[in-house]
Structure 1
Amino acid sequence: MSEKNRHIVSEELLFRYFANEVNPDEQEMVWSWKSENHKNQQEFERVNLLFLDLKAVNNIGKDGAVYDVDGAWQKILKSKKGGSSQTRSVLGWWKIAAAVLVMIGMGWFTYMSRQVETLELLAEDSQQAVQLVDGSQVSLNQGSSLTYPNKFNGAERKVELKGEAYFEVAHNPKQPFLIQTDEVVVQVLGTTFNVNNANADSIIVTVDTGKVLMTVGGNQETLPAGYQGVYYRSSQQLVKIISERTGMHNYWRTKTLSFSGATVAQAVSAIEDIYEVKIDFSNADIANCKINVDFQDEKIEHVLEIMSETLNLVWSNQGDSYLISGYGCPQ
């Protein structure tokens, strides 16, 4: 092939060739030039590699950004300093083209590394559990949902809860953990607690270990272990109370009632809610007795039997309710 034709087959022509933007004459010219010698074959392969790399970067973009081949080539041409298009060295344009590719690639992967994907766990028909990227464990009650990121970037770890969930938060004082419900924000550094946002009139946070900050509007309450924060939607009041020692807040997850120093009134209230029954006392003094006993997914009759034996009481089935009888607390 003549020296003239070697100059005609420029890098720009090769780019158009790989982009299928040449006419039949130009296509024939490239084929003839490539077959002329080994040096031309190497140049052909180098440009092909660059074209494929730029095309790959273009194809992986999913955010609407477009990196077209012609545009990339024009950037390469505009970046050159001195020299005519007829005398550019292969090494010179290759370095510039590679730099453009690296900058595009680095920009893309830097962008992708910063992207946070929003995930959702829905406990539609049964309880569900998930371990977050920071190691925190979340158990969702049936009918609840948790929205959370695939990574925690920034100064905080934030999730959104609908319904009820139990949290075991990994300790990280430099990146507080935040739970957003409909109205309330719960902030923690590392603790275990239950958040019940499933009630129509209240949001209840019960702390087992550690400490949390419960915020709604301009009101805040710091809740240490053994306390509950209750936000009443109807009155828009936030109150802090001592948690009843029944394990009631966690029964949906553990199926365990733990009456540790609870009064019989507190224990009976929990039993009525869980078993959906009505329990009465023959003697009002019984309600103030203290009880220490655990139940693991027991039948209602067995629960009443153990309570009665522990406190020297008697229980009976009244048809549509139960009755606990006796003289009060044992001395």
Structure 2
Amino acid sequence: MSTTNNHINWELIARYMSGEAEADERQQVETLANADPMVAQLITDTRLGWDIAGDALNTADIQTDAALQKVMAQISLPATEQRTNEADLLMRRLRLHQRVVAALAATLALLIGWGSMHMWLAQPQPVQYLQTMAVNAPVNDLQLLDGSSVSLNNGSTLTYPETFDGNTRSVKLTGEAYFKVAPDKAKPFIIDAGQINVTVLGTSFNVMAYPDDHQMTVVVDEGLVEVNANHERVRLPKGYTAILNTQTGQLEKTLNPDINYLAWKTGVLTFEETPLHEVFATLSRTYRVQVNAINDEINNLQFTATFRQASPDKVVQVICKTFGFNYAINDGEYTITSATNH
């Protein structure tokens, strides 16, 4: 059986959807739906809206007759048989049962809701950031979701997103950290360390960027990194360091002369005929304490020793015992004096 739009009995379908149709009328609608895909789709879509609308829509005050009169008053149709048939079809459609109209309205609301949900999900969501600070620990190790690992020196802070969803993997560092970056050529790893920025694809390196220090340094352990500061840019291969003078803004690239640059992480300090002023500078940098001598005679002496997991107290004590010095601690600052000055 084949039907056209003009031969659909809309009132019958309305009674069918509202449950008011007789048994023979239900059979007629079901036969019509089997024969006409348009009718079947109409029933399916309307039933979905009906289920969502629920009993709350039973009391909806939808004045179909008043709506019909308002529409017809605004329509001027030529007195032809074709136009008469079209008007009759319009009247029958507008006189759909109240619950069918309500169900169709619910279906429309459902589609609008789904569309709004889809648009909301498609919009970029605010990035959620995490922050880790190393407190009362020589080293704080953490693993990022991209597979990169970071070791934070005591008192240092790393801020990073929960996931790296964009075109870069960007983090922010205050203090000192050792990075081992997982390779990803399509998504460079970028470190914002205040006055310097470091960009890598996959490598291992150390960044020291304490805001109050006169120098910030980047030392490459493996791979290649790019350091940017004050519109200057340098590329560092393995074994090289970049030093930024935070007072002048000068960025310098050089071979790394400091064999103890990772002592804060490894716990190993090595000195080989090293002038004591360099030893004191290394202790200050490694332990974030001040170590000073009162005169150049002490500073120019050379010292050889290796320390493993030693505290700053232990290192200073060994130095003083080796040369017969004395030392005093005031507000965390070590002052070393010769025995004759004590």
- Tell me which interval the TM-score lies in, with the shorter structure as reference length: 0.5 to 0.7
- In the alignment, what sits opposite 1:63? none
Aligned partners of 1:292, 1:189: CA distance in 2, in Å?
37
> 1:219/1:282 Cα in 2 relative to 1: closer, same or farther (>3 Å)?
closer
Amino acid in structure 2 at the alignment position of 1:18? I
Amino acid in structure 1 at the alignment position of 2:49? F
> Which is worse superposed, 213-222 or 224-233?
224-233
Unmatched tracts of structure 1, length 5 or more = 27-50, 52-67, 76-100, 326-331
> 1:299/1:142 Cα in 2 relative to 1: closer, same or farther (>3 Å)?
closer
> Would you say 1:218 and 2:231 are equivalent positions?
yes
> 1:72/1:298 Cα in 2 relative to 1: closer, same or farther (>3 Å)?
closer
CA shift for structure 1 position 22:
2.0
> Would you say 1:199 and 2:237 are equivalent positions?
no
- In the alignment, what sits opposite 2:5? none
Unmatched tracts of structure 2, length 5 or more = 1-20, 31-41, 62-102, 330-334
SS in 1 for 2:300: helix
- In the alignment, what sits opposite 2:50? 16
- In the alignment, what sits opposite 1:231? 244
- In the alignment, what sits opposite 1:170? 182
Instruction: State the identity as a percent.
Output: 24
Amino acid in structure 2 at the alignment position of 1:22? L
> Would you say 1:277 and 2:301 are equivalent positions?
no
Show the 5 A alignment for 1:22-61. Answer: 22-23=57-58
Show the 5 A alignment for 1:2-13. Answer: 2=22, 3-4=24-25, 10=43, 11-12=45-46
Match of 2:323 among 303, 307, 314: 314
Aligned partners of 2:229, 2:253: CA distance in 1, in Å?
13
> Which is worse superposed, 215-224 or 258-267?
258-267
**Contact kept in structure 1, 2:178 and 2:207, CA below 8 Å:** yes
| C-alpha distance after superposition, 1:269-312 (max 9, x if no partner) | 2235545333356747x737463523422353x43565588xxx
Question: With structure 1 as the length reference, what TM-score do the two structures score?
Answer: 0.58
Aligned partners of 2:318, 2:337: CA distance in 1, in Å?
14
**Contact kept in structure 1, 2:206 and 2:221, CA below 8 Å:** no
> Would you say 1:131 and 2:131 are equivalent positions?
no
Aligned partners of 2:143, 2:130: CA distance in 1, in Å?
13
SS in 1 for 2:283: helix
> Which is worse superposed, 262-271 or 185-194?
262-271
Question: With structure 2 as the length reference, what TM-score do the two structures score?
Answer: 0.56
Number of matched pairs: 251
SS in 2 for 1:120: strand
Amino acid in structure 2 at the alignment position of 1:188? V
